[in-house]
């Protein structure tokens, strides 16, 4: 079974600075997708960024980018120019490419943004 | 375009009782997945419904059951409630089993407290 590990329960960043959230996963599959979701106090999961395992290029969405290291099974999220609205719980998630009808989530990282 | 709507937002039940949670999928989505998120943890996959049939189930006992209706809305039923069932229940809709095209849209969840 696939597992996702987020080793940082909590992180803090100063407004306008850069922060990196870590995620590692375990799988024997070669075809899969990785995601970062944001969960603010409103509780709704919001997709931040997604990476297909077959793509070598790291995904980027505006201030958000990932460092995808397939051999190391690592998938970190970098947030540049942090804003107060970035404060939330962030979850790393995995989905199998071939059999995937579900997301496997990590335990999450609370991100605090200081003004 | 409406998002995913879940009802009720909060619920308090007594141990041993039964509960029904409801989810209206996003317009155009035909698949609904349910997740349980215990406090301080990542969401855990309960099951998925596609074309009114269960398509995949996580490690949850049979007292967790569901339905999907012709309009793609869904219900999650939990019988014989236990204290450990206290959690945030999230519904996610998608177009297709794996959300290939547009990913998953999550609702804001139902907070269930069992006393």
A72 contact partners, CB below 8 Å, separation of at least 6: A24
A44 contact partners, CB below 8 Å, separation of at least 6: B106, B107, B108, B109
Q: What is the pLDDT of residue B98?
A: 59
Q: Under DSSP, is residue A8 helix (H, G, I), strand (E, B) or coil?
A: coil
Q: Does A50 sit within 8 Å of B97, measured CB to CB?
A: no
Q: What is the pLDDT of residue B32?
A: 94
Q: What is the pLDDT of residue B103?
A: 76
Q: What is the pLDDT of residue B63?
A: 98
| C-alpha distances out from residue A96 to A93, A99, B55, B78, B100, Å | 10, 6, 15, 27, 12
Nearest CA in chain A to B107: A44
B11 contacts chain A (CB < 8 A): no
User: Percent of chain A having pLDDT more than 70?
Assistant: 98
Q: Does A108 sit within 8 Å of B45, measured CB to CB?
A: no
| C-alpha distances out from residue A30 to A49, A55, A112, B107, Å | 20, 11, 34, 30
Structure confidence by residue, pLDDT tens digits, A58-114: 999 999 999 999 999 999 999 999 999 999 999 999 998 876 778 999 999 999 999
Q: Which residue has the higher pLDDT, A7 or A101?
A: A7
B42 contacts chain A (CB < 8 A): yes
Q: What is the pLDDT averaged over residues A24-31? A: 93
Mean pLDDT for back-to-back runs of 10 residues, chain B (115 residues): 90 98 92 95 95 92 96 96 98 76 84 98
CA distance A83 to chain B (A): 22
- Of the residues B43, B101, B109, the best mutation for testing chain A's interface (the one with the most A CB atoms within 10 Å of its CB) is B43
Q: What is the pLDDT of residue B102?
A: 54
Residues in chain A closer than 8 A to B107 (CB atoms)? 44
CA distance B97 to chain A (A): 6
Residues in chain A closer than 8 A to B40 (CB atoms)? 107-108
Instruction: Please state, in angstroms and rounded to a whole number, the distance separating the CA atoms of residues B25 and B106.
Output: 9
Backbone phi and psi for residue B64, each to the nearest 5 degrees, phi listed first: -95, 115
Q: Are B19 and B8 a contacting pair, CB within 8 Å?
A: no
Q: Are B107 and B6 a contacting pair, CB within 8 Å?
A: yes
Q: Are A34 and A93 a contacting pair, CB within 8 Å?
A: yes
Q: What is the pLDDT of residue B51?
A: 87
Nearest to B108 among A43, A101, A107 (CB): A43
How much is the mean pLDDT over chain A? 94
Q: Does A46 sit within 8 Å of B45, measured CB to CB?
A: no
What is the CB neighbour count within 10 angstroms for residue A24?
Answer: 17
């Amino acid at each position: 079974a696939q597992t996702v590990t987020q080793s940082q329960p909590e992180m803090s960043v100063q407004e306008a600075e850069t922060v990196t959230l870590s995620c590692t996963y375990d799988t024997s599959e070669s075809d899969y997708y990785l995601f970062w979701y944001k969960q603010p106090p409103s509780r709704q999961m919001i997709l931040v960024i997604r990476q297909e395992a077959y793509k070598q290029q790291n995904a980027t969405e505006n201030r958000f980018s990932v460092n995808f290291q397939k051999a190391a099974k690592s998938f970190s999220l970098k947030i540049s120019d942090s804003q107060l609205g970035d404060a939330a719980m962030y979850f790393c998630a995995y989905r199998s490419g071939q059999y995937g009808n579900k997301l496997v989530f990590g335990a999450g990282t609370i991100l605090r943004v200081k003004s | 375009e409406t998002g995913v709507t879940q009802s009720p937002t909060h619920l308090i039940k007594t141990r041993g009782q039964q509960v029904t949670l409801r989810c209206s999928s996003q317009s155009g989505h035909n698949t609904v997945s349910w997740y349980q998120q215990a406090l301080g943890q990542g969401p855990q996959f309960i099951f998925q419904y596609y074309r009114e049939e269960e398509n995949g189930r996580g490690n949850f006992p049979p007292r967790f059951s569901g339905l999907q209706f012709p309009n793609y809305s869904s219900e999650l039923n939990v019988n014989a409630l236990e204290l450990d069932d206290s959690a945030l229940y999230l519904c996610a809709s998608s177009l297709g089993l794996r959300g290939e095209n547009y990913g998953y849209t999550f609702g804001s969840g139902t907070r269930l407290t069992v006393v």
